[in-house]
Amino acid sequence: MLRIKRVPTILSNYQKDESEVAGGGCGRNCLRNCCLPGSKLPLYAFPKFDKAELCGRNDFPYAFLDSLLLGEWEDRMVRGLFRYDVTACETKVIPGEHGFVAQLNEGRHLKKRPTEFQVDKVLQPFDENKFNFTKVGQEEVLFQFEPSEDGEVQFHPSAPIVVENSPSVVAINVSPIEYGHVLLIPRILECLPQRIDHKSLLLALYMAHEAASPYFRLGYNSLGAFATINHLHFQAYYLAVPFPIEKAASRKITDFNAGVEISEILNYPVKGLIFEGGNSLEDLSNVVADTCICLQDNNIPYNVLISESGKRVFVLPQCYAEKQALGEVSSELLDTQVNPAVWEISGHIVLKRKDDYEGASEKKAWRLLAEVSLSEERFQEVVAIIFEAISCAVIEKMLSEDEQDVDKVGGRNNGPRAAIVPGKNECLVQH
């Protein structure tokens, strides 16, 4: 078993040390049975459609979700719910070709002792005795985020929390990295472990789509890739400059199923894949979700960045925590206390010591991120595993659709269905 010690990030004011186990009724207006009866929260209902074009709807000059999120976030800031004022943190673009962004955030790790984390097991069961997001105070929750019933955007300032429906919610991160830093917690009352599924990833893409801002990105960290809370969640915030990874060159690998284009990142310290296009938001989401599920099932830690209002998704397998546990990371890098999760890998590097911030350079940033990346040989092995898995997923979906058609018409459809496996001359065909 591989473990590392690190200072855990405090995401909620009610987060306790691992040694502390919360008991029954708390009386603090949380999201558990002791406090839920009769509770209400704002509800943002977004239009969900089967063939949501990836352009058009989010080209409006005004996006209500954007305004709602920032208004509620600023309200919590005025109420003093954050551990520090992130707007006072120094930030700069590091000179150089790639434009890495450095932030000095000395408040993110103070007054917290290091905790052990297992880093060699991406899938772990949910443990209700450890901190999870049902233990946050309702004042930290900005709104419920659910599909609308009539295909139109709706906002209800005070909507009941329907326990049976296990709503998805947006809550503040009390240790923000940037302005508007929030958590998207899918189906919060189901207490899902930190593992991506098709529904949760599609929900994240819908949130990016509804925010309709080029500055708003969502990120995901798997266990073993610097997620510290094993309760399914995404993070999101606003950054008014491009992430360096968004500007990196890429090489197209293939046009996959349903118009989804898959590319490989080039000239960047961390190797990864880019997914974009597709005939619908759901088409893009399905391919990315199948990729993430493949990585999880093969115990490969990874991070995900969702950018361009949900039109472009980066999937980044990594091995930094494993190297750290094996003693293969230099003390110089470890002393910076940088935990290279999705934001750092994307080029927004949060530094906790003033000397590191003042001495930040492109060479140092590249060296740190290069330690995160898989080797070229291992990366190509992982890509082969991914393409085999997502091709099989496409075939299974096609067969399922064929069976549904059979049920409808009472006979079998004729003709083969195929999925392309990049790097091979043939298709996988199922008659």
Active site residues: 233
**What is d(CA 302, CA 219) in angstroms, rounded to the nearest whole number?**
11
Burial of 71 (0-12, 13-18, 19+ CB in 10 A): exposed
Q: Residues near 260 by Cβ (< 8 Å), separated by ≥ 6?
A: 275, 276, 277, 278, 283, 284, 287
**What is d(CA 325, CA 342) in angstroms, rounded to the nearest whole number?**
19
Q: Are 117 and 6 in contact (CB under 8 A)?
A: yes
**What is d(CA 282, CA 50) in angstroms, rounded to the nearest whole number?**
7
**What is d(CA 194, CA 374) in angstroms, rounded to the nearest whole number?**
22
**What is d(CA 155, CA 196) in angstroms, rounded to the nearest whole number?**
27
**What is d(CA 405, CA 297) in angstroms, rounded to the nearest whole number?**
31
Two structure tokens written together for 180: 């508007």
**What is d(CA 244, CA 396) in angstroms, rounded to the nearest whole number?**
37
In 3D space, the residue among 385, 372, 379, 371 whose CA is nearest the CA of residue 421 turns out to be: 385
**What is d(CA 237, CA 428) in angstroms, rounded to the nearest whole number?**
40
**What is d(CA 72, CA 66) in angstroms, rounded to the nearest whole number?**
10
Q: What is the DSSP letter of 166?
A: -
**What is d(CA 61, CA 293) in angstroms, rounded to the nearest whole number?**
36
**What is d(CA 6, CA 109) in angstroms, rounded to the nearest whole number?**
10
**What is d(CA 41, CA 304) in angstroms, rounded to the nearest whole number?**
29
Pairing relation of β-strands 115-118 and 216-221?
A: unpaired
Number of residues that this document lists for the chain = 431
**What is d(CA 144, CA 167) in angstroms, rounded to the nearest whole number?**
6
Two structure tokens written together for 264: 């490989």
Alpha-carbon torsion angle 41, 125, 285, 299, nearest 10: 150
284 in helix, strand or coil? helix
Q: Which residues, listed in sequence order, are joined to residue 307 by a DSSP beta bridge?
A: 312
